[in-house]
Homo-oligomer: A and B are copies of this chain.
């Protein structure tokens, strides 16, 4: 059944499943059961099967899933195939760390530009990725058809940078800044990742778990 819509949580889990499948394929595995995927993601097997079922029938009743087939299927249905031109804004300590992230290079996300206001820093880059001053964001984003961006600038510049990116045509932003971005449009997706907020969520969830288990 093609018409059924996939719940957002399922989409997010499918991305994690994809990641796991890549690892398993690199380890030389060819087939995998929902059970095994579930163990990795700490979810029951039926939940994995349900997630996969949203994007169509693909498994085999006796050998489980063929890894490369399932991988291709998820990529296809979630529109994860094809190269996505990506950029990074803010070449401070966090931005530099992200440039070192080797796993990104082997993915379909291609870092084609980095931006910073500070020209001295720009001169220090030894990487092959072209660096530009921040005032060129809109122009370069357009020129290279950049669709996704990673923001690692000081908090107060976040919204300004986001505005420029969106104006240039970026449709997805990962924001490592503590300032939330408002895009004002519903065709732009933003994921905010803030360490302090994550720590708080962690702490609150731990407290919740304690209550849960007290009730058992």
**Could you list 14 A-B pairs, sorted by A, with CB under 8 Å?**
A6-B208, A11-B205, A39-B182, A42-B182, A79-B206, A80-B204, A86-B199, A92-B100, A104-B196, A104-B199, A109-B199, A174-B195, A186-B213, A187-B209
Look across to chain B and name the residue whose beta carbon is closest to the beta carbon of A178.
B103
Q: How far is the CB of A157 from chain B (nearest CB, A)?
A: 15
| Residues of chain B within 8 A of A148, CB atoms compared | 199, 202-203
Q: Cβ of A207 and Cβ of B78 under 8 Å apart?
A: yes
Surface stretch bound by B, among A14-22, A59-67, A115-123, A130-138: A14-22
Q: With both chains docked as a complex, state the minimum distance between the C-beta of A36 and any C-beta of chain B, in angstroms.
A: 13
Give every chain B residue within 8 A of A97 (Cβ-Cβ): 92-94, 96-97
Q: Does A198 contact B (CB under 8 A)?
A: yes
Please judge, given known A-B contacts A8-B208, A186-B209, A210-B187, whether A172 and B203 are in contact too, CB under 8 Å. yes
Query: A188-216 toward B: CB 8 Å interface, digit per residue (1/0)?
Result: 01010111111111111111111101000
Return chain B residues, CB-CB under 8 Å to A193. Answer: 193, 198
Whether, in the assembled complex, A46 has its beta carbon less than 8 Å from a beta carbon of chain B, the answer is no
The interface residues of chain B lying within 8 Å CB-to-CB of A100 are 92-94
Is residue A31 within 8 Å, beta carbon to beta carbon, of the partner chain?
no
- Interface flag for A32 (CB, 8 Å): no
